Chain A
Amino acid sequence: MSVILDAKGLNKSFGAVTAAADINVAITQDSIVGLIGSNGAGKTTFINMVTGYLKPTSGTISFDGRDITRLNPRQITRLGICRSFQIPQLFNTLSVSENLRIGVGIVVQAGGRWGGGKGQGYDDPGRAVDAMLDQFHLGPYRNRAAGLLPEGTRKLLDIAMAMVVRPRILLLDEPTSGVSADEKFSLMDMVMAAVQEHKVTVLFVEHDMDVVSRYTDRVLAFYEGRIIADGEPALVLDDVEVRKFVIGGHAAAAGGGGHA
């Protein structure tokens, strides 16, 4: 299996705070990778570096053999690395279908250059939007302003907006946060169905270990900016250090409450 995303020796510090310390990870095509770790462990920093929002202090990131370390978010997106956000980033005054239509338009305009020349295009913008609405069960909301959606649906639209711009790698930042417990699995099922249909590699940050073990084929555990465990979900989730620093820490934080 070929490596699609390769991070080598990534370091990132904000003044005295180290958010990433010597991160080395190679992601193979078509894998589904879970990123776990307590708050501040460096998961979102990793995603922000891959998508160009933050520049690493040192180290390189390459995508499909191409160095993307110094590219900006727009250029990275156009190569096929697309993301969703912990807090949904929507076009609040526009309708749900228009939110998706914007993305379709951007892909169509880029023509054959999308995805670094390897991306899929769209033939019929209207049908493309409909298909995406169906895929994410957003049809009933198509004419509603995105700003007026319930929280779980906002989350879904946010992910659909990342999917609609034809990713080759999809990065999801806490896709199930703010989603009720009984909706979590149906949301992830929808995402996974879409991902499999279009052969997309996925990395997602997740706090719910049930979700992690059910959907991933590989887990990266972060602690204090480092990756402390990397491997099959069952092995990583059983790891002593992971149980102590990640799962235990998370449970303690959740149990203690009020831990920002």
Chain B
Amino acid sequence: MKLDRTGLSLIVVVVMLLVSGPFLPSWMVSLLNVSMCYGIVVLGMMLLMRTGLVSFGHGLYYCLGAYAAGLIDQVWKMPDMLLMVAGSIVATAVVSAVLGLLLAKYREIFFAMLSLAFSMILYGLLVKSASLGSTDGFNVAAKTVGGVAVEGDTLRVTVFSVTAVILGIAAFLLHGYLASHRGRLAGAIRDNELRVEYMGASVFATVHFNYVVSAVLAGIGGALMAVNIGHIDPEMTYWPQSGEFVFIAILSGTGSVFAPLGGALVFESVRSFAYEYSPNTWQMVLGITMLVVMIFLPGGLWSLFTRGKAKEAAT
């Protein structure tokens, strides 16, 4: 994989986060933490959208990743942050590989509805699982990172740093994938599946693979969110949560891996400020923002940066 401008910028951003982490005020750390977790999930949504698919049920994997992390802490008593993330990757990869066999044949509204149904199935199971805290969920806490015990302020900074590094790695790998022979097929499949098959590539296999990748990203985001927030509950797989991910993906656009990261930060900032100043109208602010973006910026916020280029391509 070549280190291009996007790759370099990612390294710069992650290094900046690592260096500034210990000095940032705690409200900003929380804001960045949540944005980074969402950013990882939305990276996966972006990959799906590039493939022409919108999932209304990615909360399923977000929640699954979080519960995998939670179970590693509560049941196996191994509260290691990296182990939790690894557990979420395994859990979401296995489940999405199976469900993907069904979903990879679906498109458009039917893909959205079947993924919605799957996520609501998990919701239905979790709200009635007394041993997992039913609707209340349970608390999660990481006490070690890679086997090293950390606590107090060090823990806070470490969790932030690890989150930033994982985000950087995820974005870097996804960027490389999108530029790879196989990754390029996403846009081709969105445009014309028939031609893809007549050029000798498998639409099903590619959609399936991209679905699993997006699910794993959602799982990682969920596990990191569990560690950062310290609490998980079934709302993570309730449909408005999935809607929120779609929302951020639309807001961001799919032009670059930086789009979802920026979009998640904008979203979380708008939400936390709107929530602070006007707790009863923040959803309204989000809704209006979303309408404005969809009507006036169909390519998402990212298209603001690439408008000149797009015009050039259009002439």
- Interface residue ranges, A against B (CB under 8 Å): 51, 72-74, 77-78, 82-83, 89-95, 98, 101-103, 105-110, 114, 125, 143-145, 148, 161-162, 165
The A interface is mostly helix, strand or loop, or mixed, namely helix
B19 CB-CB contact with A under 8 Å:
no
Q: Are B314 and A105 in contact (CB under 8 A)?
A: no
> Is B148 engaged at the interface, CB distance under 8 Å to the other chain?
no
With a cutoff of 8 Å between Cβ atoms, the chain A residues found around residue B199 in the complex are 77, 82, 102-103, 106, 161, 165
Count contacts between A and B, CB distance < 8 Å: 80
Q: Taking the nearest CB of chain B, how far is it from the CB of A79, in angstroms?
A: 9
In the complex, the chain B residue whose C-beta lies closest to that of A158 is B195
By the criterion CB–CB under 8 Å, are A105 and B182 in contact?
A: yes
Q: How far is the CB of A186 from chain B (nearest CB, A)?
A: 24
Is there contact, CB below 8 Å, between B192 and A90? yes
Tell me the bound Cα distance from A158 to B115 in angstroms.
35
Listed in ascending order, the chain B residues whose CB lies under 8 Å from chain A are: 180-182, 184-185, 187-188, 190-192, 194-202, 312-315
Q: How far is the CA of A110 from the CA of B202 in the complex (A)?
A: 12
* Cross-interface CB contact of B192 among A83, A91, A98, cutoff 8 Å: A91
B314 & A144 in contact (Cβ 8 Å cutoff): yes
CB <8 Å contact, B312 and A143: yes
Known: A82-B198, A108-B181. 4 other contacts (CB 8 A): A94-B191, A102-B201, A143-B313, A148-B314
Interface centre among B181, B198, B202, B312, by most A CB within 10 Å? B198
Q: Which of A82, A95, A103 contacts B313 (CB 8 A)?
A: A95
Query: Smallest CB-CB separation from A142: which chain B residue?
Result: B313
Distance, CA A125 to CA B196, complexed state (A):
18
Nearest opposing residue in chain A for B195, CB measure: A89
A140 CB to closest chain B CB (Å) equals 12
- List of B residues within 8 angstroms of A161 by Cβ: 195, 199
Question: For residue A143, which residues in chain B have a CB less than 8 angstroms away from its CB?
Answer: 312-313
- How far does the alpha carbon of A161 sit from the alpha carbon of B191 in the complex, in Å? 14
Report the bound CA distance from A258 to B306 in whole Å. 46
Complex contacts, B190 vs chain A, CB 8 Å: 93
Looking at the complex, which one of B191, B192, B195, B313 makes contact with A144 (CB distance below 8 Å)?
B313
- Contact sample, A vs B, 7 pairs, CB 8 Å cutoff: A92-B191, A98-B187, A106-B200, A106-B201, A108-B181, A144-B314, A145-B314
For B200, the chain A residues whose CB sits under 8 A away are 74, 77-78, 82, 106-107, 110, 114, 165
Report Cα–Cα, A103/B192, bound state, in Å.
13
List, in ascending order, chain A residues with CB within 8 A of B196's CB.
102
Which residues of A have CB within 8 Å of B191? 90-94
